[in-house]
Amino acid sequence: MFYLALACMTIVSCNTERDPCLQPQNVFLRMQFLRKAADTGTAFVDTLLPYMLLNPIDHPLPYMAAGAKNISAFNIRLDPDADSSRWYLQTDSAATHRRDTITFHYERELHFISNACGYTYYYRLNEVRAARRALADTVRSIDSVVITQREVNNEAGKTHVNIYFHRN
């Protein structure tokens, strides 16, 4: 009887329950899309992209935006295995002549979340560039890009990059 009780206590004591991870583990970079207002050269308004296509070029990240409709902001994940990420952006799936590449250059920092959640990467943006895609493209959609918040971490609600589009 003593040995049976000892065996039961040993089995029960070996089952450890971990605290669940209740904190976000994925870190997203938020981009906002803007265009100059028609009546002024200095005011900017949110720009709704009618049927956006956004895909990673150099890395197999787990998602893309294929046909996201009427959005003025979007979140992406940066590649944790590299110091840069390139994304293909087409503002409207019907406008195949308007394709741009956005390149994000950044530093990675391994960040401990908790015992239950483990680690994730935080990023510091160094540079963001937009260029016309090297196919038969004739027109760029993006006028310029501006880093508004260099630190990319789990702080919700922050826009990291503003993307300004031409007014046509």
Characterize 40-74 residue by residue with b for buried, 16 or more Cβ atoms within 10 angstroms of its Cβ, and e for exposed. eeeeeeebebebbbbebeeeeeeeebeeeeebeeb
Quote the CA–CA distance of 116 and 16 in Å, as a whole number: 12
**What is the reported pTM?**
0.76
101-143 residue pLDDT tens: 899 999 999 999 988 889 999 999 999 999 875 455 555 678 8
State the first-to-last Cα distance of the chain, in angstroms, to the nearest integer. Answer: 85
For the chain, domain boundaries: 24-165
pLDDT tens per residue across span 40-79: 566 666 666 667 777 888 776 555 555 566 677 888 889 8
CB 70 within 8 A of CB 50: yes
Q: How far apart are CA 77 and CA 59, in angstroms?
A: 11
